[in-house]
Amino acid sequence: MALLSNLGNYKNLGLLIIRIGLGIMFIYHGYPKLMGGTESWKHLGASMKYVGIHFWPMVWGLLAAATECFGGFLLIIGLAFRPVCILLLINLIVAALMHLGTGGGLGDAAHAIEDAIMFAGLIFIGPGKYSVDKK
């Protein structure tokens, strides 16, 4: 379709839109977890049992919350983009396994799986030229 054929010239704008959208949503979900305190972190970190890790749930929960909140900010500005994508990918794999492990099924795990697929792809694509990491 000729009308949409020129949109390929705006790939960097598309990456910026993805980064801003995902970044805002991860800050939105991560900030309350980060501010939730030790009980919230223990509850969140207990999800690590689904990957066979049963120690330090409070530490894992704090790291997961910080990854979501600060990772969202770093996504928006495009700083340390690929390492942040890797950390968020790991975070989302654990979230998907937790949903599947609690009997929630694919419907409950779908959002985490979808975001994990997005971050897996972004690791290869990079942040685009409208970022602090631009090359």
The identity of residue 48, as a single letter, is M
Q: For residue 36, what are the domain limits?
A: 13-125
* Residue found by looking up tokens 């779908």 in the block: 110
126 secondary structure, DSSP code: -
* Residue found by looking up tokens 């919230």 in the block: 40
Q: What is this structure's pTM?
A: 0.92
Number of domains the chain contains: 1
In a domain, 53, yes or no: yes
pLDDT of the residue at 1: 63
pLDDT of the residue at 135: 61
Is-contact 57 45, C-beta < 8 A? yes
In a domain, 90, yes or no: yes
Give pLDDT tens digits along the chain (135 positions): 677 888 888 999 999 999 999 999 999 999 999 999 999 999 999 999 988 999 999 999 999 999 999 999 999 999 999 999 999 999 999 999 999 999 888 999 999 999 999 999 999 999 999 999 876
In a domain, 133, yes or no: no
Q: Quick one: tokens of 45?
A: 């970190």
In a domain, 18, yes or no: yes
pLDDT of the residue at 54: 94
Is-contact 96 116, C-beta < 8 A? yes
pLDDT of the residue at 133: 81
pLDDT of the residue at 95: 95
